[in-house]
Structure 1
Amino acid sequence: MSMLEMSASHPRLGILVQQARGNGPARVGVVYPCEAGALAAALEAAACGFILPVLIGPRALILKAAAETGADLAQIEMVEAPDPVSAARRAVAMAGAGEIAAIMKGSLHTDELLGAVVGRDSPLRTGRRMSHVFWFDCPAYHKPLMLTDAVINITPGLSEKADIIRNAVELAHRLHIPDPKVAILAPVETVNPDLPATIDAAALCKMADRGQIPGAIIDGPLGFDNAVSLTAATTKGIVSHVAGEPDILVVPDLNSGNSLYKSFVYLGGAACAGLVLGTKVPIILTSRSDSLQARVVSCALAALSMRGPPGPRH
């Protein structure tokens, strides 16, 4: 994969890549990379300078996957673990001990990995809800755009949504967006007792006003059109500091978020990266259907998410 090709088609993605390369590689535990695609993504991310991979899993299967791709693992560190669950637990223990700075999903199931991350004895647990954030370079939008949560939380309640926003805002701070604009999406822009998403959006905005969700400019409920288009918002008489300028879109549930994510990628031509946040280390949670580019750039995003403090708390 050529970084120059990525820059030509998605310039904001190219900027992200260059920033990550300048940040230097981080040690990342790649959990059960026993399929060619999962292993190739980790090795490509290493070649780009984003990560120093530590391959965790059964050595024989990892070497078999390497043989399929012609990869040379002579200089790559490996940690033996006999099965996916053992590999996930080993990665969590290594992260808790500070031996690795992030975790990357290989060819195991998502629930096997996240089960170890959130297990009762996991050293990675925090007091915050875990959530996923997508970062997009959308050709039709004028700046990078984040979307949360389209992967983990199915029907989050008010307190979960507050944590989902906090996680995304802290990532924005690490990406040098000091006061990200957050649009809380709903079917309509007015508060309607029959639409719980609008009630939650209004409550979240008041929580932000009271300092419970610091470091961001938050507005909602906003329909998707009003969130991303100032013209649409103006036509409807909406006065908002967020409309037309959001850095982060917050969806009401996984159904809407997952559809929006796939629309951006498959119809909108967006390039994306994604991370799981809310744990003590970021988790690169890619899918088998993700492109090599998406997997590698997720490693770049993880590298950037680990630099320095998350920014000022207001």
Structure 2
Amino acid sequence: MTELIHPPASGHQSGTGYRKLIAMTAGMPPLRTAVVHPVDTHALTAAVDAAHLGLIVPVLVGPAHKIHAAADSAGIDLTGIEVVNVEHSAAAAEAAAAMAGDGQVEALMKGSLHTDELMHAVVAPQARLRTGRRMSHVFAIDAPAYPRWLFITDAALNISPDLAAKRDIVQNAVDMVRALGIVRPRVALLCAVETVNPAMQSTLDAAALCKMAERGQIRGALLDGPLAFDNAVSASAALIKGIISPVAGHADILLVPDIEAGNMLAKQLEYLGGAQMAGIVLGARVPIILTSRADPTLARLGSCAIALLLARHQQGWPK
């Protein structure tokens, strides 16, 4: 497998990385995707744009009258696109999860409903979407000031993960990043300090995760931590602090200690650093494309491209 072509080292236009991800899907069959409750123009436009690019075959699940009203408002022609009519957002989430569990669709895509509502349906036993892994979320960050992709996990699902959950969160992210072509990703285990402090649980978890990687309990990546954010992304900062590590300054994946730290870090990169963020939920039987109404169209398309690359990689594409 060849390495993913990273965005240029500095000053590149935000979104360049997503265009390259989309280009990597060329020749792949699109994912049949249940788009859950797409009753506003943002969600509907993203699904239709992804279909036009050959990333997904959308199945729109929600109140048909609201979906068609949103399409009329946006000037979108839904001819040829399947619409599954249900009463409301909760019913849409349940119907879409059931379709995924039955193999009728290969992915789920969040529309105009809250993440909790969608995930409640996904984790329900009757959906049959759970695996042996903890589900987790990854932000794929295309930051103009950083010379490579930056993946942040988990900033959206797991509130305060323990060591076992963090192990799954790391492995989920590693497996996804490898599907994008980064053969041996570098994982920085973020904390407020670079040394193990018994009073700070995140540093103890970081040390344990490193040992778990050494023992083969986490596979396919290089791990180091505890590392502060500056040492994870800046080689010069790591050098000044005397940190010798193959990960420091070159991180691909950032494991955050909890959802609050991760959410704030990702949003700061987006709103102060000019980054764009694609989002996906991992650990279920199908990829779950998790976007926000505030996301630009290109980031939403990037999320669809990641889901397609991941699904086809798991199927051994090209066969």
How high is the TM-score relative to the length of structure 1?
A: 0.94
Indicate yes or no: 2:113 matched with 1:108: yes
2:187 aligned residue: 182
CA shift, 1:277, in A, is: 0.4
Question: Which of 261, 264, 274 is matched with 2:279 structurally?
Answer: 274
1:121 partner SS: helix
8 Å CA contact 1:174–1:310 kept in 2: the answer is no
Question: Which of 195, 200, 206 is matched with 1:195 structurally?
Answer: 200
Question: Which of 288, 293, 296 is matched with 1:288 structurally?
Answer: 293
8 Å CA contact 1:21–1:300 kept in 2: the answer is no
8 Å CA contact 2:13–2:144 kept in 1: the answer is no
Alpha-carbon distance in structure 2 between the residues aligned to 1:91 and 1:272: 24
Change over 3 Å in CA distance of 1:79–1:301 after alignment to 2: same
Indicate yes or no: 2:71 matched with 1:62: no
Q: Aligned AA for 1:134?
A: F
Indicate yes or no: 2:151 matched with 1:153: no
Indicate yes or no: 2:84 matched with 1:84: no
1:306 aligned residue: 311
Per-residue CA shift, 1:138-172, capped at 9, x if unaligned?
Answer: 11111111110111111111111101001000001
Alpha-carbon distance in structure 2 between the residues aligned to 1:304 and 1:16: 8
Question: Which of 265, 269, 276 is matched with 1:264 structurally?
Answer: 269
2:187 partner SS: strand
Alpha-carbon distance in structure 2 between the residues aligned to 1:10 and 1:129: 30
Alpha-carbon distance in structure 1 between the residues aligned to 2:98 and 2:109: 14
Question: Which of 142, 146, 149 is matched with 2:147 structurally?
Answer: 142
Alpha-carbon distance in structure 2 between the residues aligned to 1:58 and 1:129: 31
Question: Which of 46, 49, 53 is matched with 2:54 structurally?
Answer: 49
Q: Aligned AA for 1:82?
A: E
Question: Which of 1, 7, 16 is matched with 1:11 structurally?
Answer: 16
1:250 aligned residue: 255
Alpha-carbon distance in structure 2 between the residues aligned to 1:279 and 1:240: 33
Q: Aligned AA for 1:288?
A: R
CA shift, 1:8, in A, is: 5.2
> CA-atom RMSD, angstroms?
1.5
Alpha-carbon distance in structure 2 between the residues aligned to 1:230 and 1:250: 18
Per-residue CA shift, 1:116-145, capped at 9, x if unaligned?
Answer: 100132210111111100111111111111
Alpha-carbon distance in structure 2 between the residues aligned to 1:9 and 1:274: 16
8 Å CA contact 1:148–1:251 kept in 2: the answer is yes
8 Å CA contact 2:14–2:274 kept in 1: the answer is no
Change over 3 Å in CA distance of 1:218–1:89 after alignment to 2: same
Alpha-carbon distance in structure 2 between the residues aligned to 1:222 and 1:310: 35
1:133 partner SS: strand
1:166 aligned residue: 171
2:216 aligned residue: 211
2:228 aligned residue: 223
Q: Aligned AA for 1:207?
A: M
Q: Give the length in aligned residue pairs.
A: 305
Identity of aligned residues (%): 54
Change over 3 Å in CA distance of 1:296–1:11 after alignment to 2: closer
Alpha-carbon distance in structure 1 between the residues aligned to 2:221 and 2:50: 31
Q: Aligned AA for 1:91?
A: A
- Gaps spanning 5+ residues in structure 2: where? 1-11
Q: Which runs of 4+ in 1 moved over 6 A?
A: none
Alpha-carbon distance in structure 2 between the residues aligned to 1:294 and 1:141: 17
8 Å CA contact 1:170–1:310 kept in 2: the answer is no
1:4 aligned residue: none
2:4 aligned residue: none
Alpha-carbon distance in structure 2 between the residues aligned to 1:51 and 1:288: 19
8 Å CA contact 1:21–1:50 kept in 2: the answer is no
CA shift, 1:309, in A, is: 2.8
- Gaps spanning 5+ residues in structure 1: where? 1-6
Change over 3 Å in CA distance of 1:271–1:24 after alignment to 2: farther
1:189 partner SS: coil
Change over 3 Å in CA distance of 1:310–1:257 after alignment to 2: farther
Alpha-carbon distance in structure 1 between the residues aligned to 2:263 and 2:314: 30
8 Å CA contact 2:108–2:288 kept in 1: the answer is yes
Indicate yes or no: 2:4 matched with 1:26: no
